[in-house]
Structure 1
Amino acid sequence: MATLTDTPYIIAPQPALPRLTRAVTGTDQTGRTVDLRVVEERPLTIYLNSREIVTAMTIGDYPVYLALGFLRNQGMLSDDDTVTGVDYDEELEVVVVRTAVVTDHEAKLQKKTRTSGCAVGTVFGDMMAGLDDLQLPETPVRTSDLYTLAATINRTPSLYLEAGAIHGTVLCQADQPLVYMEDVGRHNAVDKIAGWMFAEGVTATDKLLYTTGRLTSEMVIKTALMGIPTLVSRSGFTAWGVEIAKTVGLTLIGRMKGQRFTCLAGEQRLIRDMDPAEVADEPHRQSRKAAE
């Protein structure tokens, strides 16, 4: 497990998001003017020691968790690394992660893959690196927990419910949500979860990752490399995402809404302990939109 020194983490307070903006509606002939709440986007530049790694577009909250998780999910920060400090400059919008041993990642940084992630995701080096020898735990998944989580998360206050145009990712254990992160890009939200787990020393063996975003190859790869055995989404999936999930032994569940879900991989881990007929379907006023 990663070792953190006594250097304090400087985490920006939850920003006053979203901001108000003036708009004109098209629902009547008068062009009525209304005030809308819209989600912010701002750049965050991540450094590893003295090397600039990437500038990410993000909503601006939890910059330290985002930086740690991004580096962790890119294979630039491992569980064996000792983090000696994390500096966040709110004015410059820069996070610098410092480690006891400085590793040269120049070869990895030379290869960039732009992914299908919202706000344009980037993977450095070989996307499939680290998956060949991966052994995910055979943690069972109870359908009763899935139904409970879907209902609980859908009613949780969030930026999405306030303004839309944003993705949510939730780390869960059994039927309990543990950490809820949001961002304009689903990959950023996942990185924040990874950073929180890294900083807090949280194990992944018995965890489940829930997302509102599509189950693409990048989402599946990140979840697997985090060691989380189950990935659940309200949205649809891509063929490569499903193929990778089957290859690495990840339980992959999509289109989780009310009584319904589709298990694409790892179905042997499902324990059907609740009749779907007993599950209330989602009220329309609470239903989140999701990309199919």
Structure 2
Amino acid sequence: MTLLRPTLQSTPSRSVKNTHFERSTVRLVPEEVPVAISYAGSSHAVLMATPDDLVDFAIGFSLTEGIVQSASQIRSVDVVEGELGIDVQVFLADDVSDRLRARKRSIAGPVGCGLCGIESIDQAMRTLPDLSAVELRMSHASIVAATAELARAQDLHRQTRAVHAAGLYVEGSGLVGAREDVGRHNALDKLCGFVFRSSVAAEKGAVVVTSRISVEMVQKTAMLSCAMLIAVSAPTALAIRTAEAAGITLIALARGEDFEIFSNPHRVGP
């Protein structure tokens, strides 16, 4: 689907170096718009996102946030542009819609813990799939190659230096898919949507991201059934504990030929 809103905008800027004005120039910057994800006509979450790959975004968000258990429970997705933003309308199977409405009715008051669509601390720290039995090994060379291939796939970042990326790397096949967005969670949700729509076997590869690793990034990786997460930046303490408990091999600070393994190191070989 082609949206009216472009992903890129050009804007004038003034270059200053060593405290001296040098010249006027034009720079490309990524667009950022409010994107509502709605179920049965009711908005569930509004996120600031780059306006592309929005069907992947909605499907990935629905799965990684536990709204649906499989892509087959999503009947259709419509992207509707408005004056102020974009409404991505997700139509679910009847039984899933009924459960979602019942969950919303169970809220007694204006509670919230700051995560989109999450109504309690218990939901924020939800139980994840146990991936400890996933048979996956990746060589040092493949881990280095994964971050290098993701960097080469970042067309939007190359033009703007302002967005994150998430990719799926499979040893022997390389980078099988990548998505970009101004938000790191959004980029990962878009990747998850792509993986679910294309029937790629995520358990055979590693998720690779350009950002730091918070607990939500680990949770979304687990919901993708992927047992390895590679990041160019550092993880939080909670992210490490969550990855260890879920059986995910967490690799971070992966830059050039160097990286650090923070959990379940048995999947990494020479």
TM (norm. structure 2) is 0.86
* Distance in 2 separating the partners of 1:201 and 1:220: 21
* Distance in 2 separating the partners of 1:165 and 1:207: 26
2:68 maps to 1:77? yes
* Distance in 1 separating the partners of 2:21 and 2:249: 52
- Does the CA contact (< 8 Å) of 1:42 and 1:59 recur in 2? yes
Corresponding residue for 1:23?
13
Change in Cα spacing, 1:36 to 1:188, as seen in structure 2 (3 Å) is same
Instruction: Give 2:205's match in structure 1, choosing from 204, 207, 210.
Output: 207
How much does 1:22 deviate? 0.7
Instruction: Give 2:81's match in structure 1, choosing from 80, 90, 98.
Output: 90
Change in Cα spacing, 1:152 to 1:212, as seen in structure 2 (3 Å) is same
Corresponding residue for 1:287?
none
* Distance in 2 separating the partners of 1:237 and 1:157: 22
Change in Cα spacing, 1:142 to 1:14, as seen in structure 2 (3 Å) is farther
Change in Cα spacing, 1:160 to 1:70, as seen in structure 2 (3 Å) is same
- Does the CA contact (< 8 Å) of 1:249 and 1:266 recur in 2? yes
Instruction: Give 1:134's match in structure 2, choosing from 118, 130, 151.
Output: 130
2:98 maps to 1:103? yes
TM (norm. structure 1) is 0.80
Counterpart of 2:113 in structure 1: which amino acid?
T
- Does the CA contact (< 8 Å) of 1:12 and 1:63 recur in 2? no
- Does the CA contact (< 8 Å) of 2:250 and 2:264 recur in 1? yes
* Distance in 1 separating the partners of 2:58 and 2:223: 16
- Does the CA contact (< 8 Å) of 1:253 and 1:261 recur in 2? yes
Counterpart of 1:158 in structure 2: which amino acid?
D
Q: Which ranges in structure 2 are unaligned for 5 or more consecutive residues?
A: none
* Distance in 2 separating the partners of 1:15 and 1:259: 39
Q: Which ranges in structure 1 are unaligned for 5 or more consecutive residues?
A: 1-10, 116-121, 273-292
Counterpart of 1:140 in structure 2: which amino acid?
R
Instruction: Report 1:108-257 matches (<5 A).
Output: 110=107, 112-114=112-114, 122=116, 124-125=118-119, 126-131=123-128, 134-136=130-132, 137-174=134-171, 176-257=174-255
Change in Cα spacing, 1:149 to 1:253, as seen in structure 2 (3 Å) is same
* Distance in 2 separating the partners of 1:43 and 1:59: 9
Change in Cα spacing, 1:108 to 1:184, as seen in structure 2 (3 Å) is farther
Percent of aligned pairs with the same amino acid = 25
- Does the CA contact (< 8 Å) of 1:242 and 1:265 recur in 2? yes
Query: What's the RMSD between the two structures over aligned residues?
Result: 2.2
* Distance in 2 separating the partners of 1:225 and 1:156: 24
How much does 1:240 deviate? 0.7
